[in-house]
Amino acid sequence: MDQRGPWWAWVAMSRSSIALTNLRAVVILIVLAFHSVLPYLASLPAEPFPFDRPPYQWLAFPVVDRQRWFGFDLFCAWQDVGLMSLMFLLSGLFVPSSLERKGSFGFLAERLVRIGVPIVLAVVFLAPLAYYAAYRTTAVDPGLAAFWQHWLALPFWPCGPQWFLAQLLAFSFLAAVLHRTFPGGKQRLAALLPTIGTDPARFLVVLLAASALAYLPLVLTFSPFEWTSFGPVSFQLSRPLHYLVYFLAGMALGTIGLDRGLLDCDGALARRWPAWLGAAVVGFLLWAAPTAMTMADWAAAPAIAKLAAGIGFVVACAAGCLCALSLCLRFARWRLRAFDSLSANAYRMYLIHYVFAVWLQYALLGSGLFAVGKAAIVFAGTLAASWTIAVAWNHASLLSRAHAMMRGAGRA
């Protein structure tokens, strides 16, 4: 359901707010596209990954199709570098204002209800439903009872894409603790931020330095590819602190204000979008070249190649995020009804879309369509199903709240 409200509410929105709303819509479209094309990567093996055998790579690639296109490898590599960092940065933007309005306890309580409860429901119900398709691709007995037996025998409980929400909840808890522990921290931060928060080059330098300190020691200790799980919580061993840096960077920008500094539609970041687009392409190449040398065997790769891949990742993430913001602020500052709806329903779509994507991929396994055609069908079907359900869900929630308000007014 469109949440814009009456015309006088949305006409008054600033251009920066409109641009960020549109960027959120673009991000959810990219997430759906990313998950839609995974079975068709040219780099995948010929056969699907066994369900019961470590390292359980079906978690990332539930379905493996024989139809492939290398263009999808490039698209997914580009998004793997910068998309999640951008999502954490955007998630941090509105945290300062929310903390000011609700206080630490109110903010955390709201996050536990809004993020924590859906995570539990998604992990308990949606993850098994999605990965049942992955099990069926290699199962001797594809029945539901056999799947449940294999599922319970796993040494962890798969969470699917909800790993992002679990980390976001942890970062939100940290933000609430910091707000409670250092009540004057926002004022001190606001006094320091103008020196870096209005100059894209200075912001880039600080972001690169913080990200390098957070990422390089972990990636050199583990690898950029290794995941771990604790019960239903999964994460890449090299990236939690890196993502925290971007979440805190988003909070810093939110402290300055959505229409000031880097987020000013007439500011230096928006005006110099061609330079940031070029920087994003160069950053991706700086990451891709050394990473290609390490993918076959990270442990045996030369130390200089590992370090270069790590530095390339840091540069590519920072340049990619600033490029996305610059393009959004320059070209996406006008309202579109479809993007308003996508943005309003993005969170619900993220929660439920994976089930549709995986089962559509499974349904198309026997089809003779080429990879691009299959990916297009999966994307269109996933978008239509998840968007429709999210709108209905939102509409039901609004009706429920309105009914509760009316009942409360009647008692009064």
Tens-place pLDDT, residues 23-42: 999 999 999 999 999 999 99
C-beta atoms surrounding 94 within 10 Å: 14
Tens-place pLDDT, residues 177-222: 988 887 766 666 666 666 666 789 989 999 999 999 999 999 999 9
Burial string for 238-250 (b: 16+ CB within 10 Å, else e) reads bbbebbbbbbbbb
pLDDT of 7 reads: 36
In the chain, domain spans = 7-411
CA torsion through residues 164, 169, 172, 177, sign: negative
CA torsion through residues 240, 107, 399, 407, sign: positive
C-beta atoms surrounding 66 within 10 Å: 12
Q: Which DSSP helix (H) or strand (E) runs through 282?
A: helix 273-294
In angstroms, the CA 349 to CA 326 distance is: 25
Instruction: Enumerate residues 6+ apart whose C-beta is below 8 A from 338.
Output: 25
pLDDT of 5 reads: 42
At 65, list the tokens. Answer: 């199709």
In angstroms, the CA 44 to CA 40 distance is: 8
Residue 94, amino acid: F
Per-residue pLDDT at 341 exceeds 50: yes
Written as one string, the DSSP assignment of 207-259 is HHHHHHHHHHHHHHHS-SS-EEEETTEEEETTSHHHHHHHHHHHHHHHHH-TT
More confident residue, 267 or 68: 68
